[in-house]
Homo-oligomer: A and B are copies of this chain.
Amino acid sequence: MTDAPDTAPRLRLRIVFGSDAMLGPGKADLLEGIRETGSIAAAGRAMSMSYKRAWSLVEEMNAAFSEPLVTSTRGGTKGGGASLTETGEQVVAHYRRLEEIAGEAGGTEIEALRSLLRDTGN
């Protein structure tokens, strides 16, 4: 699409259920971080997020979906571990696919907005 990922507009999606944010870029990144690090604390740290904040987002997601997205053991000598459940994997996959589909479908409008920006080199 473009060779300038640092300056090209990116589409960020947030799905809102009723009045509550259900899933957005932060939660999706956190889920993927948990998958990669096996730790809620480490995933949060990589996003400059406090452990409390990361844990709170996980609890929010676990409560919002019919099955938990993350399973974890707190404490212990290694500080506990965490991993994505099958539902967690599904949620991440649907969210990333949605991003991809929306970005592709909306490419013309995104480009139209980019062309109206100041200093875009076009």
Residues of A whose CB lies within 8 Å of any CB of B are 6-7, 9-18, 22-23, 63-67, 87, 90-91, 94-95, 97-98, 101-102, 104-106, 109-110, 112-114, 116-119
Q: Whole-angstrom distance from the CB of A110 to the nearest CB of chain B? A: 6
**A112 surroundings in chain B (CB, below 8 A):** 90, 94
Q: Is the CB of A16 within 8 A of B22?
A: no
Cβ 8 A contact of A102, one of B11, B16, B117: B11
Number of copies: 2
Q: How far is the CA of A67 from the CA of B16 in the complex (A)?
A: 32
Q: Is the CB of A106 within 8 A of B116?
A: no
Q: How far is the CA of A23 from the CA of B64 in the complex (A)?
A: 28
